[in-house]
Amino acid sequence: MEKNCNSVAGHAGTLIKASSRQADDKAGSRVPPGGHLLQTNKAESQLLPCASPSDPVHWTNEIVPVVADTSAPAEAAPDQTVSDGEQLTRAPDETYYQRSESPAEPPAENELPAGRSRRRRSRWCLGCGCFEQVKTVVLRILMTGFEKYAGVVYDHPWLFIMVSLLATAGMSVGIFLRTPESDVYTLYSLSGSPSQVTKEHLLDVLPPDRLLFVLLTGTSNIVTRETVTRIDSLLQGIESITLRRDSVTTDEFNHRLVSHDRSPFPETITFQDICAKDGSGKCQVQSILDLYPSSSAWGVMPIASASWPVVTNPVTHKVSRLDAILGKITTSVRLAEQGSGRPALTVVEEAEAMLMRIDLRGETIWKPYTAAFEKLVLDYVLGQDFGPDISVTAKAERSSYDELKRVSTLDVVEWLRLCAAVLVVFLYTSVVNSSKTHRTKLVPSAMGALASLLGYLGGAGLVYLCGVRHTTPAEATPFLAIGIGVDDLFVIINAYSLTYLHPNPKERVVDAIRDAGLSITITTLTNVITFIIGALSPYYSISMFCIITAGALTWGYVLCLTFFLAGLSLDARREARKEPLSYSLFWRFMPRCCRKSSYEPQLSPPLPLTAAASGLEEMRNESEEIVTADQTPPTHGGDLLTTYQLAALMVLYKKHTCQSRSSQPARRLFDRRDGTGTEETMSTPVPEDSERDRTNQKSCGTQVSTGIVDVRETGQDAASQRQLSSHIRDMTTQESMMLLKNFEKEMEQNPEKLLKLYHPEPLGNPGRGSRRFFRDYYGRFLGNTFVKATVLVIFAAVTALAIYGATTLKFGLSLKNITPQASYLRDFYSLHEDLFPSYGDEVTVFFAENDRWEDREVQMRYLQMVKELSEQEWAVVVTDGMSLFLQHAMPSLHSGNRKEFLALLKTWLEGDPIGQNFSTFFKFSFDNLIVWQFRYWMPHRDNTTTLYYWLKEGKDIVSAGKPYFHGEVHTALAVIWESDPKILPFTLTNLSIALVCILAISLLLIPDLTSAIIVVLVVSLVDLWLFGFMALIDLPLSMISMVNLLISIGYSVDFTIHVAHTFTHCVGASRKDRMVETMIVMGAPVTHGMLSTLLSILALAGSPKYILEVFFKMMFMVIVFAYTAGMVLLPVVLTLLGPFHPHGKRESGKAIACDSSAQLIDMEPLHGTGKEEHGVGV
């Protein structure tokens, strides 16, 4: 048996070389001297120099027929099936042709170059074709590099697996050593913005106090003696808290204190040390206790105000505002008493909320200790129990940092979400690529999903080791890395599955990587480029997130081409041995005594054939051998088909079967060259085929005239197809080579001849069912004229709706929104907005310049500015000590006398009961006023853009006082609000840069300018839809949603560029056929990639973290819009406007093969051997 097989292999190899020479002679007029044709399985081929101009070149055109030795068995074709595992047969060729060695004249030198020149001029080009030449060379180098690399991985799979795992293990250490960044102002503010500069100036000249609030709310009136007593006890407890100096080793952001001098601070820090003092030297604490003259009046004496809502304590002369201390107040009015002289009073009857405010020291050197003390106070306050009717919440300066730090760490729930996402993606990728045959790709699919997870661990870990800090948006990185990373897995497995014509596993792996390597490289590159563009963002949190995600995607790509590719290589060896997966995983490692039986690969039994075909089948079985993993079987002509030609044959075969089902009751096979035909009737039923015939008749499209008639009975139809498959392969290798060389011409003129090249997809091939669905149903559905019109109308309506939504888009990021939902801080924000709506953000206006405040004109200008500011609706409360002083002392002041002005101001601040409330607002040197400030409050608003413009109006009013005085306006959240009006220009700029990069990359991958422009337009539409629907679901444009818009660029390209690139290389006779072929080739991997990403993103649904919630909403829209644009809108547009250059025509009227799909074969000289050989059918 072995000897016989080796003999057949030798015959087949010699025959293919002879047929190659024959095919070369037929195409000799197209080959210029000094070049030979390079054999390749790719859709493009190049002419390479093989001799110097001075070398003699011999041409031969004489063809000598040689009679084949029919006694030798024919070489077996690869294991193929017609539909569901049916064995195909081959007939030996009766003759073959051998080229004589007589020299011949070379072709006319101006024939091919002229044709090539005309063809190039018909294409678009950049710079007189230089770009095309450079692109061709680059693509050739890349494809050759992928081929060689895949061969190396195939030869050493375990080396690549171990090295990739060890490298990932070392890099992933960074995940556990990462340092989170929790400073909300660093994360979400613009570095170097005007508000940031103002903030730093204020910290230098007059550091603001750190504020701590305690909020008590009840279901009924809480202005009772019992409640006030509990508040006094709470305040005493806070005042009794102490802090050990040496226990403070880090600041509030968890940064270790370096070179910190502790000597100025007491060993035990008390509340009196840490609080901010007022003019009388007491701690600044504002509470309901300030409203009573003594403890005996708590909850008993009514709280009344003669000038609502201001109230002055008759004992301490401390001025307070009732609406800033009590919430949900119920009041009554008591009329004035003329006899006693008591004015009219507004009396507080009930209140359902109380707010306590404590000012702590804000100097820079005190910040670490103040932050540590705040932590102790928060723990104490939040641990108090006021009973079932009263709830307590609080807010300190460090609260936002603590809560952001908490959400920046993966807790148990987040780990469960991540594990669930990984498990779901594992299961999905494994199921869709599995089958019951030895062709299952269960193990490579699982390794591909694992590679995406390891890509995050290794890539992000390395970035963290390089010093990049972890930010809150980076919590979504593992879900994105897994969802996007598995897309490459589906593309490679799909490319591998379409190489089923290759009998050698190494060739299959090499061809798959050559076909898919460039595609996944381009899509990964576009994704990484969009994240690199995002890394240039001025927002620290977004920049760090983009760097981390880009690192994860890059390492995931590396593992895909190492770890996953090595696993695919091992599985390809197993598939070549036809070993069941269970045997390779389990029984192989069992002792022989424990095995039920040793595994022996079994050949598929032949299906019943007629007498005419049974002899051929017996001959085939005699010569068939088992292909081992590393053995290279003889090459058959059929494996020279490109992926695009194979897809065209699938569409053509579908047309033929659709026509044959509706034709006459008897089948007539293809006419032979002598004009005779064979009329046969089969009776062997095939259940699966007959079932499919009944369900698929409606999916038939345009019919092809093939000169074939079919039986009407489904059982006879299946059997006839089986004999047809055997008969159409009964042709010479020379004939098959000529069909391959003139594939596009035959597709246009004689498509029925190409069916001789069709090899049905084998049973169990991964993606076989999906490709059949996209061929028989989805592609035909989109090709329907009514469906295309409906699709265009629907997407036009969606676009119009998105344009409307974009006009109502809001901007901004609220600090409340980025706070976790289950946080005490979020409760405080919600309650404070509801109970104290007028006291939102506190704004500080400070004057640090040495202005001439003693001049009367400056004083008048200042009072005019304060009056204008107070009249604004957004300046609810203005607390200004300078205005009160000038109103009090201006009659006695002399303009220009600075010494007198400063003396009277100090006296008023120290001695006047009202002035003492503002003593901390002024800072003096020995004989000068250094800096002073006043404050006002803005009401609560959800729209941060509104707050920003209110603040900007306040700055304009203060700036109008120049050159008389120079004031600056600051509020804590201004550094975040300031990004709101700039977020849209930043977003549009980044999107434009990303689109330009995508256009450049598309031009590199897609050989047609029209397709590249269509890709950019479709991606732009996806972004427009996102803009519009963000507004419709009430999602503002912020730095968080901005990065999702950038992600949408890369993700949309993944879909559209695959489809457009495949369409430009398809070879169908019409745009509709090419669209169907595109769906066959790319429909399954694109769909599976979308579903796997969607499954991983679903793990973010219901997350209590606002940032993850935004990521889920945005990514869900990105996936839906990008997929529908790439798989619904783009195919329809391509059927109408897609590139369609009719193949195979020249000006001379002769047909030529198109560059993009012709398969050229090696032109090695072949000397006559004197042996007779069999032609191997394709």
What are 784-802's pLDDT values in tens digits? 999 999 999 999 999 999 9
| CB distance 1080 to 495 below 8 Å | no
**Is 885 a domain residue?**
yes
Q: Which of 37-41, 284-288, 456-460 has the lowest mean pLDDT?
A: 37-41
**Residue 604, token pair as written in the block:** 């598929």
| CB distance 437 to 764 below 8 Å | yes
Q: Which of 138-142, 144-148, 222-226, 256-260 has the lowest mean pLDDT?
A: 256-260
389 and 476 part of one domain: no
1083 and 1030 part of one domain: yes
**pLDDT at residue 1017 above 80?**
yes
947 and 1029 part of one domain: no
Please give the Cα distance from 195 to 180 (Å, whole number): 25
Helix (H) or strand (E) holding 270: strand 268-270
Which of the two residues, 592 and 38, has the higher pLDDT score? Answer: 592
908 and 1042 part of one domain: no
- E strands of 963-1106, at which residues? 968-970
**pLDDT at residue 740 above 80?**
no
Which of the two residues, 980 and 567, has the higher pLDDT score? Answer: 567
**pLDDT at residue 152 above 80?**
yes
pLDDT score at 104 = 38
pLDDT score at 83 = 35
pLDDT digits (tens, 9 = 90+) for 43-70: 333 333 333 333 443 433 333 333 334 3
Which of the two residues, 144 and 189, has the higher pLDDT score? Answer: 144
Helix (H) or strand (E) holding 327: strand 326-334
**What pLDDT band is residue 372 in, cutting at 50, 70 and 90?**
very high
pLDDT score at 847 = 95
**Residue 291, token pair as written in the block:** 């409203």
Mean pLDDT of 901-905: 92
**What pLDDT band is residue 679 in, cutting at 50, 70 and 90?**
very low
287 and 370 part of one domain: yes
| CB distance 782 to 1128 below 8 Å | yes
Percent helix, strand, coil in the chain (nearest 5)?
55, 10, 35
**Is 605 a domain residue?**
no
- Residue 823: what residue type? S
16 and 145 part of one domain: yes
pLDDT score at 454 = 94
142 and 166 part of one domain: no
pLDDT score at 202 = 92
**Is 875 a domain residue?**
yes
Please give the Cα distance from 952 to 727 (Å, whole number): 84
pLDDT score at 652 = 82
pLDDT > 90 in the chain, percent? 29
**pLDDT at residue 37 above 80?**
no
Give SS3 for 1038.
coil
**What pLDDT band is residue 1093 in, cutting at 50, 70 and 90?**
confident
pLDDT digits (tens, 9 = 90+) for 508-519: 899 889 888 888
Backbone dihedral angles phi then psi of residue 569, each to the nearest 5 degrees: -65, -45
- Residue 513: what residue type? I
pLDDT > 70 in the chain, percent? 73
pLDDT digits (tens, 9 = 90+) for 599-633: 444 444 443 433 333 333 333 333 333 334 344 43
296 and 382 part of one domain: yes
958 and 1006 part of one domain: no
**Is 1145 a domain residue?**
no
pLDDT score at 409 = 67
Backbone dihedral angles phi then psi of residue 480, each to the nearest 5 degrees: -70, -40
pLDDT score at 1174 = 33
Whichever domain contains 562, its CATH number is: 1.20.1640.10
Q: Which of these three, 736, 766, 796, is where a domain ends?
A: 766
Adjacent-strand bridge partners of 348: 303, 331
**Is 436 a domain residue?**
yes
435 and 526 part of one domain: yes
Which residues lie closer than 8 Å to 851 by C-beta, 6 or more apart? 858, 964, 965, 966
pLDDT score at 731 = 54
Domain count, the chain: 5
Helix (H) or strand (E) holding 559: helix 540-559
Q: Domain range holding 1109?
A: 157-178+411-582+787-807+981-1137
Entry pTM: 0.71
312 and 242 part of one domain: yes
**What pLDDT band is residue 641 in, cutting at 50, 70 and 90?**
confident
Q: Which of these three, 911, 939, 971, is where a domain ends?
A: 971
**Residue 307, token pair as written in the block:** 């000038």
**What pLDDT band is residue 313 in, cutting at 50, 70 and 90?**
confident
pLDDT score at 1095 = 87
Mean pLDDT of 1155-1178: 34
Mean pLDDT of 154-175: 94
pLDDT digits (tens, 9 = 90+) for 461-492: 999 999 899 888 888 888 888 888 888 888 89
pLDDT digits (tens, 9 = 90+) for 854-869: 999 999 999 999 999 9
369 and 385 part of one domain: yes
Q: Which of these three, 88, 119, 153, is where a domain ends?
A: 153
pLDDT digits (tens, 9 = 90+) for 333-344: 988 887 777 888
Please give the Cα distance from 871 to 878 (Å, whole number): 10
Residue 820's CB is within 10 A of a number of other CB atoms, namely 17
**pLDDT at residue 114 above 60?**
no
**Is 1015 a domain residue?**
yes
Backbone dihedral angles phi then psi of residue 825, each to the nearest 5 degrees: -70, -40
**Is 308 a domain residue?**
yes
**pLDDT at residue 551 above 70?**
yes
Please give the Cα distance from 994 to 1020 (Å, whole number): 10
**Is 1150 a domain residue?**
no
pLDDT score at 1142 = 55
